Amino acid sequence: MNTSLKHWKEAATLILAAGHRLGADALSSRTPQTAAAGSPLGSSHGRSHLPHKSCFDYDVLLLKRSSKSGFMPNAYVFPGGMVDSSDFSSEWLDIFKSFSESPNFGLRSVKQPPETRPPIFATDRLKLGSPISGEVAFRICALRETFEESGVLLVVSKSEEQSLLKSTGGRCAADRVLPKKVNELRSGELTKWRTLVIQNPSNFIRMCRELEVLPNIWALHEWSNWLTPKGRYGVSRFDTAFFICCLQETPHALQDEREIVRFQSYQARELWIAPPQFYELSRMCRFPLLNDLHDFASRRATEGCEHWLPVLIKERFLSLLPGDKLYPSDCSGEAKEDMSTDSHLDDTQDSGLHRMVFSDSHSLTLQVNITPKYNHLVPVGEQALPHDSNSQT
């Protein structure tokens, strides 16, 4: 853990996409929350109004945060949370001992130059006292938090280690395989361990050792890195690594009444989706088919990702992202007050736009006409649309 950070707490989240059967009967009762996003998501301004039919063959796991939560209450988010010191524990060296000869336990190397890597990945964890790299630890964090919050456990049994160890040039080959099963543990056993892990995150290590399983870090592909801007969602601010994982089948999920008050897989009508989640779902809408999404995520992951700190423009309901023509070159994460009268903010037909426009506190539109870095996706949605200041509340 990096306890020296001034503004942010390090965290990880998991975008979990799971396949289901296409067909009229299945779609009528299993409409994905993001299925309509190819067009309606962009026009729904942050609230998902889903159609009756869809060509999307997968669901995305979204959990509704409690109204009592100190961070983004009532928002639908991907599972995830703060990193724990146990995620960096040296005990993982023994759990992953079969992969000790491979850097990062067989995870593929990222091509992104070290000087441009986000600090959450670039930080030398050895200097902070941990032999576990950020690439590994934040995947463990995302898997642990997903288990805590939803009951979905992504692990690999010891009996499957040999197939995982098949590699080319020291690289684990498992990251290109679309996983079929989440786990084969009995429900009662999952419930017991989930309770223990919630009580103490270090029990995740104990669980893996006693059940002889490995956290399936190879199924998680690096996707993005978001930082919380100052002042919009309370005092908590997070530097969050986003990973994506595609499963062939929808897993059974338990509900955490402690943090998550409702889990909606299907038939969602209107959701408040947190801005980073809305942006990432809009990106995913470029791929209606799960296999295509998985292939893209697997290939793109080695390119790396950007370090995104949204800059809020007070009194204009705007959030600028890196690449926008007005994004400050020296960004400290503070909300910008001196730009609220800048006439260029309303020039939405110009090039160099990468921003979120809020019509109220829970509704947004994406304005994007830049080329993403690291071979990433342009989100689907209404791009470069005029901003109606009269619609603000």
pLDDT of residue 131: 96
User: Where along the chain do its domains lie?
Assistant: 9-307, 310-393
The answer to whether the beta carbons of residues 83 and 137 sit under 8 Å apart is yes
How far is 227 from 321, CA to CA, in rounded Å? 11
Give 114-129 pLDDT, tens digit per residue.
999 999 999 999 999 9
pLDDT of residue 187: 76
Q: 235: closest CA among 9, 78, 49?
A: 9
Percent of the chain predicted with pLDDT > 70: 67
Tokens 């309770």 belong to which residue?
Answer: 195
pLDDT of residue 332: 55
Residues in the chain with pLDDT values less than 70: 1-7, 21-54, 66-73, 166-184, 231-235, 252-270, 315, 331-349, 361-362, 381-393
- Overall pTM > 0.75: yes
Give 208-267 pLDDT, tens digit per residue.
999 999 999 999 999 999 998 876 555 678 899 999 999 988 876 654 444 443 444 333
Q: How many CB atoms lie within 10 A of CB 337?
A: 11
What the block records as the tokens of 381 is: 């949605």
Q: Rounded to the nearest 10 degrees, how much is the dihedral formed by the CA atoms of 187, 260, 238, 336?
A: 160
Give 364-381 pLDDT, tens digit per residue.
889 999 999 999 999 986
Is the dihedral angle over the CA atoms 43, 72, 255, 95 positive or is it negative?
positive
pLDDT of residue 62: 87
Q: Measure CA 133 to chain center.
A: 19
Q: 123: closest CA among 170, 175, 83?
A: 83
DSSP 195: H
How far is 39 from 49, CA to CA, in rounded Å? 10
pLDDT of residue 72: 59
The answer to whether the beta carbons of residues 98 and 105 sit under 8 Å apart is no
How far is 68 from 27, CA to CA, in rounded Å? 33
How far is 161 from 163, CA to CA, in rounded Å? 5
- The amino acid present at 219, given as its one-letter code, is A
How far is 48 from 270, CA to CA, in rounded Å? 5
Tokens 């979120």 belong to which residue?
Answer: 356
Q: Could you give the angle at the alpha carbon of 326 between the alpha carbons of 120 and 75, nearest 5°?
A: 55
Fold of 9-307: Nucleoside Triphosphate Pyrophosphohydrolase (3.90.79)
